[in-house]
Structure 1
Amino acid sequence: MHQLGVHIHSIDEMTGIQALERAHPTLPMKPGLEERCEFEYIRHGTQCLIANLEVATGEVTSPSVGDTRTEVDFAAYLDTLISQDPQGEWIFITDQLNTHQSEAVVRLVARYGEFKEELGVKGKSGILATMASRAEFLTDRTHRIRFIYTPKHSSWLNQIEIWFSILMRRLLKRGSFLSKEDLKSKILKFIDYFNQTMAKPFQWTYRGKPLHV
C-alpha cells in the first residue's frame, strides 16, 4: 500500500509460458566448462500468468496461473485484488490491451464504485459503446478505482515487466517442467521465494531525457 493509503499496482499478463521438460539432465559446471543445458525437450503445453507488483513494496501479490487470459479472467483477477480492501482507493498501471479496457472490467469497477448511472450497451451506446469510451471511464481521476495506461509500444514503463524478466532469467530459462501443473507450482513457489528474499521497490534510473539515435 502507498504511504497515503492508495493501493498502486503494476499489472499485466505473461502468456504462452511453455512447460518444457529437458530430454536429458543439465550437465553441471566444471573447471573450464560452463553449465550445459540439453537442447532437446518435451512440450507439455503452456500456461498464462496474471501478476501484479505492488509498487510501494516491490512484492508480487495474488498471482494467478491458468490456461487462458480472457477479459473474464482479467476481471476476476482484479476482483480478487479489490476485494481485499473493497472500500479502498486503487490505481492499476497496465498497457492498452483490449482485455484491460473490456466490458467486464468496466462493470467490475462500476460495481465496487457504486456507480449509479446506466453503462449503456457494448458497441452501441453509453460508456460501454467503444474501447475509447470504456478507457475514458476507467481512467477517470475522480473514481476511487482507476487505471493508468502506458503509451502504445511503451509497455517497458510498466514495472511488472521488469519482474517478468527476473522470472524468465531466474526460473523459466533454465528450468525443466514435467507438466503444466509442475510449471504452475514452480512459478508460485518462486514468487513466494522472491517476496521473502528479494522484493523491494524498483528505483527508476532513467531521467526522461530525449533519446538520440
Structure 2
Amino acid sequence: MHLDTVRRWRGRFADRGLGGLSDRDRSGRPPSYTALQVAEAKARACRLPAETVVPLARWSCPDLARELAARDITGPVSASTVRRWLAEDALKAQRVLDLYARTWQGKALGEDEYVISADEKTSIQARCRCHPTLAPGQARAMRVNHTYGRGGALAYLAAYDVHQVRVSGRTAPRTGIDPFTNLVTQVMSQEPYKSAKRAFWIVDNGSSHRGQKSGDRLTAAFPNAVMVHTPVHASWLNQVEIHFSVVQRKVVSPNDFTDLTQVGDRLRAFEDRYNATAQPFQWKFTTSDLDDLLARLDQHTADHPEESSAALTA
C-alpha cells in the first residue's frame, strides 16, 4: 500500500474514529430497480396472466412490462429491461440443460464428471389410519379410511445422479443447511464422486442451498463439487423433482404408516428397489427448445415495437 494512502486513512481515523474508515458515498446512478422488484417481475412471468385477471393466454415482454407498471410493482419499465431480467434466468436454465446433455461451458463432460440433481421433499407425514387400508378386490377399489392419527412428519432429502440413474437419500426431522450438508457429505464421501474430477450439484433456490454462500460452502468442503442453481421459480428444471413425484405415487400414497420409523424404512427400501431397475428420465426440453422460445419472444417484440413504447407510458 502506498504511503500516501496510509496517511489518508490514518487521518480519517484520527478525525472520525472507526466511522471514518467506512466507504464514502460514490458517484454514479443508483440502480433503478430493487432486487425485490426484479424478483416480483420474474414471479409474475412464471404465472399465467389469467391468474391476475389479465385476458391473455401468455405473457410477452411488453405485456408484462405494462402489467408491472400498472400494478405499481416497478413503475415505468421498458420491455427490453424485462427481457433482460428474464434472459438472466434463461442463461441459468441453459447451463442446467447443457449439463443434462453432458456439456459444460461448451465442452463435453468426461467419464469422471457427474451431474447430480438434489432437493428436499418436505413434510412427509405418518398417518395412522383408524382402520387398516383394504387392498382392491374383484369388484372393489382400494379402501382407505379417512380418519387417522398424526404420527409426526419428516423431510426426505435426495440426490439423483442424472446419467448414472442412481438415487442417494436420507431423512431428517426438518430441512435446513445442516441436513442438506449431511446429504452432500453422504454422497461425496462415496465413489465414484469422492475421486471424480467434478461433480455438478443442480439445486433450486430453497433456503437450504440458496445463493453464492451455499456454493462456497460446498466447494470448501469438497473442492471437486460445483453448485449450479436453477432460475428462480423454475425448480421444474431439477430432475430430482420427477423422482419425488414417483415417491409420492409409489411410496407415500395412500399414506398409511404407523410411525415415522416405518416411513423412513419404506423410503430406504424403495431406493434400493428403484436403483436396481431405474431408467433415465426421458427429458425432452433442450437448449434448442429454449433458444426457439427466446427467439419467438424477440421476434414478437420486434414485430410490435408500439407495445414497448406503450409500456413506458402506461
TM class by smaller structure:
0.7 to 0.9
Number of residue pairs aligned between Structure 1 and Structure 2: 180
Identity of aligned residues (%): 29
| 1:41-80 superposed matches below 5 A | 41-61=148-168, 63-80=169-186
Structure showing the higher strand proportion among its residues: 1
2:112 corresponds to: 5
Does the Cα contact within 8 Å between 2:119 and 2:240 map onto a contact in 1? yes
Normalising by the residue count of structure 2, what TM-score does the alignment of the two structures yield? 0.53
2:56 maps to none
Deviation at residue 86 of structure 1 after TM alignment: 3.6
Alpha-carbon offset, residue 3 of structure 1: 5.7
Q: Indicate if the aligned counterparts of 1:53 and 1:59 stay in contact, CA closer than 8 A.
A: yes
Task: With a CA cutoff of 8 Å and minimum separation of 6, indicate the structure with the bigger relative contact order.
Answer: 1
Q: Which runs of 5+ in 1 are unaligned?
A: 114-143
Q: 1:154 aligns with which of 234, 245, 250?
A: 234
Alignment match of 1:107 (pick from 211, 217, 228):
217
- For residues 24-173 of structure 1, the aligned pairs below 5 Å read 24-61=131-168, 63-84=169-190, 85-88=193-196, 89-101=198-210, 103=213, 106-113=216-223, 144-173=224-253
Note the C-alpha offset of 1:112.
3.0
Would you say the 8 A contact 1:95–1:151 is kept in 2? yes
- TM-superposed deviation, 1:40: 1.1
Task: Choose 1 or 2 for highest CA Rg.
Answer: 2
TM-aligned CA distance change 1:86 to 1:35, over 3 Å: closer
Aligned pairs for 1:188-207 within 5 A: 188-197=268-277, 199-206=278-285
**SS of equivalent residue, structure 2 residue 144:** coil
Report the aligned-residue RMSD: 2.4
1:108 CA drift (Å): 4.1
Residue aligned with 1:60, SS = strand
Cα offsets for 1:153-212 (capped at 9, x unmatched): 111111100000000001101141111111111111111111113x11112134536499
Structure with greater helix percent: 2
Q: Give the gaps of 5 or more residues in structure 2.
A: 1-101, 103-108, 297-314
